[in-house]
Chain A
């Protein structure tokens, strides 16, 4: 770099300007790394500041235990209906995504040939790459009418010939325009790749010796997959489940568009009504407040309180997934 003529005479130390440049770039690079910490700090501070203002106006107790969420009309800030909406969507989408995702992961890692895998895996990844607003639109405009054509359905659980028994009938009611079912379906489809890709990594990292040993004992491929590989990869599979659930909880646009904006506590004996009717999640309530365009005020701060709750839930789930993965991972040498 420097003038070579007197380089031989000088000591092996670098030139001053090289050292200075070096230090400068090191600081710049460390600074941009530090910025990522500032993002987290910023999130926490931004949420906490407004949320604390909110909780000084509305007591945290009534926020977390209230059973009515009607911020704009009645000024009621009860979180429970929103939690119930979020939980119903999460559970229903999990019913779709968790078994499907695990089966897909098992197929890709154990059964699929390299060629099949090379185009099935990217195709699965596309499911997570489609914008959620398009998923929401599909649920609202295409999936809901599809089910509205089939429903309502009533099934007699006990065949008509047995008269002494009461006639148990399972009634799935007809769908409203905005309903939980279509939202859960698209959220379920959306989080399949999350389950399948992380689970597949876990399944593929199970060493071949275990498979070979099981085959050597006379196991079939089915036995090897279900009784050896899946148990050996449990920690990774559980971690993928938790991450997928956390993604479903934080999902916003699809549930806002397809589920409507009427927060409900769950209907208990008539479980299917929960799916057929409109509801609202925490994220949906945040979007509703933001679109209402009221700057400031208790309702506006309520959005931050919701955000903080959501942030803490998803953060703890992500941390839990990481802990499960580290704690229960079998290490094969």
Chain B
């Protein structure tokens, strides 16, 4: 590159240098192209799916103008306004998070409880949840015994056993009450208790008590109103307790404590207001929207193999949510336990040290085992060894739980590793034992990271199909599961089963719409993971 012996030459760009520059630019462009290749191809494929599911060309121009005018423009304008001001932006994010999270929790709670029958759920909750809590309060009031945690766990398990054993006797007794009372017990009471505990930390005791009582009062008032009008108040009880009250609390708190960002909390309402204005005008003027396949029928009806206009995936959606929920309950504690052992307990030397190394290697290898093989394990374990019937929720959830266990362990390990050692040393220095240190110092710091990892693992499991095909989960079912021992099907299996249907209304309509539903579920879970992680990051700074 350097011209030896020629001192006249400077380091200026000659033709060779220009060529080199061109070469470098080309190389960078090629690299960028390779990076974008996968992303762009996926976007194109998603575009095909969205085009088939929504059929945007069937809508009129007026519809798009209305859509832009009521929804896109106000929301964009508000977001741009909020982006300039940090306080407004953070309030906006918080309000959107509250509304989105509360909406998701409300809908999934209602769907799942409705599928499983509210009476059964309230029965389990009564014996497995309320009873241990009351017991704990009594124990705490009288004398602090050493084994409090164990007492509660035993009480919960014992309560569930009693509820299971005496089901035939207890179920009719619970069944006497109206359905809304069951929902009141499932949703409203926990929300009020949560509000009370939250309020005691944030505000004063008196305010907290008043807030909890007034929440209960408002719900009862609405129930009375609905009963007076002759409407079944069940759904409204859930909406009011799990959506309206939490959102009101969050937004009210922003309004009181954060005067600078107060306007930001209006963000969700701009969106909701735009949406309702849009719907009202659309109906009033009779504008034709796109004639897509992602309709209320698809979301709320059960599958129909011949007639696309009446085919829906409601049982599949419920099945997916229930299966993944049960799987999380099974895999989370075991995964956390495994990570705790590896990070906090496992010695580094001797035979136990070798055991720990073996565990580490084993977990990293388990993560690389193909998912079909887990299907074979599930088949051998749940059907051949334990003798479960084919295709029940419990065996599907167990199989997927084994599949995500290594992912949960690894992410929990990372969360534990990010807790600084100084915290542990401080706790040990105060005389705390290892478990006390873990429970009071390490776990509270690490739980958000663990939750993030677990939610991501759940998101992976919700799209998993191969192991479920192997354990012979039914591909099509016409009713949602009504318990962990009933058979169920999940969304990806329905997509798999519908691949051979050549009717264009299915091939280029219902199935892409079902795929969109699955992708939205995935997106929601990933968003939840990001929200949890961001909260965690902010706290640790």
> Which residues of chain A have a CB within 8 Å of any CB of chain B?
1, 14-15, 17-18, 20-22, 24-26, 28-33, 35-37, 39-40, 42-43, 45-47, 49-50, 99-100, 103-104, 106-108, 111-112, 120, 123-124, 126-127, 129-134, 136-138, 140-143, 189, 192-193, 196, 218, 220-222, 225, 243, 246-247, 249-253, 257, 283, 286-287, 290-291, 293, 303-304, 307, 310-311, 314-315, 317-319, 322
Contacts and interface: CB of A to CB of B under 8 A. Distances in A.
Given A287-B470, A290-B375, A31 B48 contact: no
Interface residues of B, number: 89
A43 B499 contact: no
A134 B463 contact: yes
B82 to A, nearest CB: 20
A66 B135 CA distance: 66
B411 to A, nearest CB: 14
A315 B369 CA distance: 7
A307 B23 contact: no
Contacts of B499: 136-137, 140, 257
A283 B147 contact: no
A189 B337 contact: no
B465 A253 contact: yes
B39 A123 contact: yes
A317 B434 CA distance: 39
Contacts of A304: 376, 380
B161 interface: no
Contact of B434 (A22, A33, A111): A22
Contacts of B336: 32
26 contacts: A21-B146, A21-B150, A22-B435, A25-B435, A28-B337, A32-B336, A35-B334, A35-B338, A43-B369, A103-B35, A107-B35, A124-B39, A127-B42, A129-B459, A134-B519, A137-B495, A141-B508, A141-B511, A142-B45, A142-B49, A192-B38, A252-B371, A290-B375, A303-B470, A311-B373, A322-B364
Contact of A250 (B359, B372, B433): B372
Contact of B373 (A20, A43, A318): A43
Contacts of A317: 368
B345 interface: yes
Contacts of A30: 341, 345
B369 A314 contact: yes
B337 A129 contact: no
Contact of B341 (A14, A29, A291): A29
A129 B92 CA distance: 28
A20 B213 CA distance: 41
Contact of B338 (A36, A49, A124): A36
B364 to A, nearest CB: 7
Contacts of B377: 39, 42-43, 46-47
Contacts of B465: 131-133, 252-253
Contacts of A221: 24
B422 interface: no
Contacts of B470: 286-287, 290, 303
A132 B463 contact: yes
B381 A133 contact: no
B131 interface: no
Chain A interface, >50% SS class: helix
B34 A99 contact: yes
B496 A120 contact: no
B337 A32 contact: yes
Interface stretch (B103-111, B300-308, B401-409): B401-409
B40 to A, nearest CB: 10
Interface in B515-541: 515, 518-519, 522, 526
Nearest to B48: A142
A117 to B, nearest CB: 10
A130 B463 contact: yes
Chain B CB within 10 Å, residue with most, of A129, A252, A311: A252
Interface in B292-347: 333-338, 340-342, 344-346
Given A32-B334, A39-B377, A137-B515, A243 B27 contact: no
B433 to A, nearest CB: 5
B31 A303 contact: no
Nearest to B511: A137
A189 B40 CA distance: 10
Contacts of B472: 290-291, 293
B316 to A, nearest CB: 12
B55 to A, nearest CB: 15
